[in-house]
Structure 1
Amino acid sequence: MNQEKQIKEKSLPLAIGLNIVLPGLGYMYMGKWLIGIAGCLLIIGISWNAYISGGDVLTTWVVVNIIMGIDMLILSNKNKAKLIADEMKKCPACAELIKKEAVVCRFCNRELN
């Protein structure tokens, strides 16, 4: 649960901004070190290959950042869903999501065990 609370405190815009500076840094900030290092090495390799072959390095940089930004958004949404699942439960009477510590459902006023 502590790891999930740390994920909750992480800023998605900051993670995406770090990826713009150097792709992979945002993943490292979010706690995904292996993906971050792989992303960093990947963009360096792709950019170097584009530079050597006379391709457009800036376009490569932007495209990879867009892809990583979308992935960071998906990762953030998965983390939020996991946090909700860990902190909430369904009321057995009305099936609404309520806090795990709740004694009475706030929707149907049923007492819970």
Structure 2
Amino acid sequence: MNETTSKSMAAAVGMNLLLPGLGYLYMGNWVVGVVGGALVVAILMHSRPEHLLIAWMATNLVMVIDMCMLSSSRHAQNR
């Protein structure tokens, strides 16, 4: 069994909510985790304070969609 297929998608999404990119690191995507996390932090640092919540939600939504697509493509490859 592939190591990434046994990992919980819900746990990965939860980790991304706590710290952007952490869910990717958990799933084994080190490059995407580091670059994505750094990009999200840069976006948040350059956002106006009144837009922080919207920026946080938007970047996390993009990461969740990407993680779901990644997970479904990995499941399809393992079949």
TM-score band (shorter)? over 0.9
Could you report, residue by residue, the CA deviation over 1:39-93 in whole angstroms, capped at 9, with x for unpaired residues?
Answer: 1111110000004xx4511110100000000000000001101110xxxxxxxxx
- Which is greater in Rg? 1
1:55 and 1:47 map into 2 onto residues whose CA distance is 11
Unmatched tracts of structure 2, length 5 or more: none
* Structure with more strand by fraction: 1
* More RCO (CA 8 Å, sep 6+): 2
1:55 and 1:49 map into 2 onto residues whose CA distance is 12
SS for the counterpart of 2:28 is coil
2:54 and 2:72 map into 1 onto residues whose CA distance is 27
Identical columns (%): 37
TM-score (normalised: structure 2): 0.93
Unmatched tracts of structure 1, length 5 or more: 85-113
> Aligned Cα RMSD in Å?
1.2
TM-score (normalised: structure 1): 0.66
* Structure with more helix by fraction: 2
Q: Which residue of 2 aligns with 1:49?
A: 46
State the aligned residue count. 79
